[in-house]
Structure 1
Amino acid sequence: MRKVKAQEAIGMVLGHDVTRIIPGQFKGAVFKKGHIVHEDDIPLLLDAGNDYIYVLELQEGELHEDEAGMRLAQAIAGPGITWSPPEEGKVSLRAQWKGLLRIDVPLLTWINSMEDIIISTLHDHTPCQEGMTVAATRVIPLTIAEEKIRAVEDTCKGHTMVDILSYTLQKVGVVVTGNEVYHGRIKDSFDEMLGGKIRDYGATVVEKLLAPDDAEQIANALLQAKDRGAEVLITTGGLSIDPGDVTRMGIQKAGAEVISYGAPILPGAMFLYALLDGIPVLGLPACVFYAKTTIFDLIFPRVLAGETIQREAIIKMGHGGLCMECEVCRFPRCPFGTG
């Protein structure tokens, strides 16, 4: 470290904390070690009794933590990600628009295995709002060898570690099944329980039809919703093993290929996922009408973001797939679906 006059330290890096005492009011650091001195800092330095300060002198090939953090953020960020200026070495990455967070977990693990570099993120597939903090990065020491940062930059060329997928599918077709609803014995509560969630993702229900427990009529309703331009199809109910539940048969009769029936998610065990001429079909079990958060909340944003759902992905959801059914639901800021 080198001793310099405070007035001559502009642009230099503090090598120590600067403490200020105001009798009876305050004692603490007004500047932390590693702070880059700016012109408007000079009066505070002098008021704190620091006519001279010690500054760090970076050697060739060394980076200050702020520059290192910024370069890391720029290296890992993909579409839909922006970042803020460093604060005590930490750079926060935020969602630039509403969408689905995607994390390259193997790449994240590789970067974090490097000495003196850390990147912390939300879990993969988190639904995000614009401006939401999704990741942060920093280096552990005050200075770091530039070659370590360059290694990350070189590895991230051509692909990204963190990005936000936009919700590109917007038109939803709905078939509410069940004799009890079709014949008016009970109220259709789809709009009340799921309509708001669909709108929150920016999607619109372009067609909603009621169908009895009849496979042929369920199939016809699905095809009618498809013809109305639906990009995602949803059915509700009729997926248990009861003899009167024929929704699965109706989906197949419409010509859809069932990718997965049954899921290790609670609530949502009887979930069905299929493709009808490439259009995702979500067969929702009855739990969506009474549980606050279900498999719908895990699958629907992925589908809107254009992801192709494979059975393997649904199977893996069993890790973290048990909803704690909290009195106050804070999803997605909770463990549900974070495996």
Structure 2
Amino acid sequence: MIFGLTPLDEAEGAILAHTIRLKDRVLKKGTVLDADAVAALRAAGQPQVVAARMAPGDVPEDEAAARIADAALRPLIARSKSATGRVNLLAESAGLLVLDAALIERLNTLDESITIATLPNHSQVSPKEMLATIKIIPFAVPGPALAVAEALLRGGQALSLHPYRAMKVGLVMTELPGVKESAMEGAVEVTRARVEALMGTLLPVERARHEAGPTADALSRLKRQGAEMLLIAGASATVDRRDVGPAAIVKAGGRIEHFGMPVDPGNLICLGEVDGIPAMVLPGCARSPKLNGFDWVLQRLFAGIPVRARDIMAMGVGGLLKEIETRPLPREKAPTTPPPARAPRRPRQVAGLVLAAGRSRRMAPLNKLLVADTQGVAMIARVVDSVLESGVRPVLVVTGHERDRVQEALTGRPVIFAHAEDYAEGLSASLRAGLAALPEGAEGVLVALGDMPLVTPSVIQRLVSAFDPEEGRAIVQPTFRGKQGNPVLWGREFVPAMMEITGDVGARQLVGRHADRLVEVEVADDGVLRDFDTTEALRASPGFQAGRVKEKG
């Protein structure tokens, strides 16, 4: 292509590079100058124009774009008319777009005049949705380059559209004592919505004890009903390929293809098959309608695309589906400008529960909760002040040993007291008394220990910010250098199970059983690990001076 200043004597048939406004007409960019246009330019005193002229073998932009589009067409993919060197490729059906990324990259590096831009690989698309756009950059393409592009497209599969198939899906919900019925029903409805959005049908749901045998029997019943895909929603997180859900698939005559995936949320998915029927144990985040790794696998299976271990392992690039505040950024790498504003999210209603009923047996005769720091503030008051300053409401304080003195130390603070009559039985008694007083509207409860005064309000605020049960973040726990600490924020769904705990233990045992609902928040100091059971420990802590450890009051 010849481009540049062109004398009017040579301009007929050339393509105008820039719009020119004349007295009685406008010659737009891209106009092929005919004799009338050249005469109008000459009459306006324009001796020359910036234009493009075809060299031998050049193909005009619209023709080139149309030829590339025709070579790229495949079943269920249509194209628009070519205009200004552009043709769009469109979906004729709902389905999954699959790309040959290497082939498309080769096309885009063939010649700078040829470009093709697509949706991301494995995009879910609707009828008439644009899949790709082909754009010729200059006014013409060299003929040899166009011929190579056509040959590459006809010999490969740059784009293909896989329509969704109507499939019958079987779902097994496993059950454990203490799991709320509303949570079970909610998980079923979310799964039904996912299946129906992909043109599938959910068979009547099977319920089974959270054991391999009963779950395998339920899978077999669903197979007999014609299930073409089998799903297991476990009452507890799957933490190993030999856990209950995967073991049930094997016991039903199947095998496990892969456990885990590099997609977050969605890490704890387990993929297998039973007699050629895809079978999956769902990650806990599948209880939420938000996009997660399970969606990616489900879409491919409905589109008739086999999913193997290698396919799941290849999902890591782009697999961080949602950035959350719990992923800390080293200070030296933090951006200097604030991130774009996000739509405000409705604050979660989180209550604070401070356990202050213990007998301080290891520090007797002192009551450690009443020990004052160098500013004369009792330990329990320090803890309660931090919880109050974090903004959680209401704040409940469980009393037991020396009830009156603890309440006196908290005089004037806006807290609600709950007394544990059986506090001598241990930590679980305090926990039950506090949970029994939890207000109905609370979506979560932050359980703080009265002997951990180094936990700051900002740490508590980070825990609350990370709390989102709908997205699978229903238990939030701080960590320091990977070690789990306190306080822990619990979703209301766990309250029934926490009320059944007995002995001198807290709810820590539930964390392991619900790892799929847990998110850990790494913090910058060890205050989340430090409780104080001895006078020596207190003397070594910030805010307490050696030799001045004493009870307040």
Alignment match, 1:151 = 148
Alignment match, 2:221 = 224
Superposition map of 1:239-278 within 5 A: 239-241=237-239, 246-278=244-276
1:189 partner SS: helix
What's the CA shift for 1:16? Answer: 3.4
What's the CA shift for 1:58? Answer: 3.5
What's the CA shift for 1:20? Answer: 3.7
Superposition map of 1:1-339 within 5 A: 3=8, 14-20=15-21, 31-33=28-30, 35=31, 58-116=54-112, 117-180=114-177, 184=181, 186-237=183-234, 238-241=236-239, 246-290=244-288, 292-324=290-322
What's the CA shift for 1:80? Answer: 1.8
Larger Rg, first or second structure (1 or 2): 2
The residue identity in structure 2 corresponding to 1:308 is P
1:292 partner SS: coil
What's the CA shift for 1:37? Answer: 7.8
In structure 2, do the counterparts of structure 1 residues 202 and 30 end up closer, same or farther at CA, with 3 Å as the change threshold? farther
1:93 partner SS: strand
The residue identity in structure 2 corresponding to 1:159 is G
Counterpart CA distance in 2 for 1:99 and 1:68 is: 28
Counterpart CA distance in 2 for 1:181 and 1:304 is: 34
What's the CA shift for 1:51? Answer: 12
What's the CA shift for 1:118? Answer: 1.2
Alignment match, 1:337 = none
Moved more, 54-63 or 72-81: 54-63
Q: Answer yes or no: is the 8 Å Cα contact 1:262–1:272 preserved in 2.
A: yes
Q: Answer yes or no: is the 8 Å Cα contact 1:77–1:161 preserved in 2.
A: no
What's the CA shift for 1:235? Answer: 1.2
The residue identity in structure 2 corresponding to 1:306 is G
Q: Answer yes or no: is the 8 Å Cα contact 1:68–1:138 preserved in 2.
A: no
Question: Given the two structures, how large is their TM-score scaled by the length of structure 1?
Answer: 0.80
Counterpart CA distance in 1 for 2:178 and 2:305 is: 32
The residue identity in structure 2 corresponding to 1:296 is F
The residue identity in structure 1 corresponding to 2:17 is H
Q: Answer yes or no: is the 8 Å Cα contact 1:274–1:281 preserved in 2.
A: yes
Counterpart CA distance in 2 for 1:285 and 1:89 is: 47
Q: Deviations over 1:25-75 (max 9, x none)?
A: xxx976222x4589xxx99x98xx989997865344210111111111111
Counterpart CA distance in 2 for 1:160 and 1:79 is: 11
Counterpart CA distance in 1 for 2:58 and 2:210 is: 70
Q: Answer yes or no: is the 8 Å Cα contact 1:239–1:247 preserved in 2.
A: no
In structure 2, do the counterparts of structure 1 residues 30 and 284 end up closer, same or farther at CA, with 3 Å as the change threshold? farther
Counterpart CA distance in 2 for 1:272 and 1:29 is: 64
Q: Answer yes or no: is the 8 Å Cα contact 1:169–1:305 preserved in 2.
A: no
Alignment match, 1:333 = none
What's the CA shift for 1:160? Answer: 2.2
In structure 2, do the counterparts of structure 1 residues 252 and 182 end up closer, same or farther at CA, with 3 Å as the change threshold? farther
Q: Answer yes or no: is the 8 Å Cα contact 2:91–2:128 preserved in 1.
A: yes
The residue identity in structure 1 corresponding to 2:101 is V
Q: Deviations over 1:63-90 (max 9, x none)?
A: 0111111111111222221111223212
What's the CA shift for 1:256? Answer: 1.3
What's the CA shift for 1:132? Answer: 1.2
Counterpart CA distance in 1 for 2:197 and 2:320 is: 24
2:249 partner SS: helix
Q: Deviations over 1:264-319 (max 9, x none)?
A: 22111110000111111121022211461211111111011111111111111122
Alignment match, 1:332 = none
Q: Answer yes or no: is the 8 Å Cα contact 1:17–1:29 preserved in 2.
A: no
Q: Deviations over 1:121-173 (max 9, x none)?
A: 11111111111111111222211111211112122224321121011252211
Q: Answer yes or no: is the 8 Å Cα contact 1:169–1:231 preserved in 2.
A: no
The residue identity in structure 2 corresponding to 1:323 is L
The residue identity in structure 2 corresponding to 1:18 is T
Counterpart CA distance in 2 for 1:219 and 1:191 is: 19
1:309 partner SS: coil
% identical aligned pairs:
27
Counterpart CA distance in 2 for 1:240 and 1:271 is: 8
In structure 2, do the counterparts of structure 1 residues 13 and 138 end up closer, same or farther at CA, with 3 Å as the change threshold? farther
Counterpart CA distance in 1 for 2:53 and 2:271 is: 60
The residue identity in structure 2 corresponding to 1:15 is L
Counterpart CA distance in 2 for 1:112 and 1:277 is: 43
Counterpart CA distance in 1 for 2:168 and 2:121 is: 25
Counterpart CA distance in 2 for 1:236 and 1:230 is: 16
Counterpart CA distance in 2 for 1:183 and 1:239 is: 16
2:268 partner SS: coil
Counterpart CA distance in 1 for 2:261 and 2:19 is: 57
Q: Which blocks of at least 5 consecutive residues in structure 1 are unaligned? A: 329-339
2:111 partner SS: coil
Alignment match, 2:389 = none
Counterpart CA distance in 2 for 1:273 and 1:292 is: 20
1:293 partner SS: coil
Counterpart CA distance in 2 for 1:323 and 1:125 is: 14
Q: Answer yes or no: is the 8 Å Cα contact 2:264–2:322 preserved in 1.
A: no
Counterpart CA distance in 2 for 1:210 and 1:219 is: 11
1:176 partner SS: strand
In structure 2, do the counterparts of structure 1 residues 272 and 293 end up closer, same or farther at CA, with 3 Å as the change threshold? same
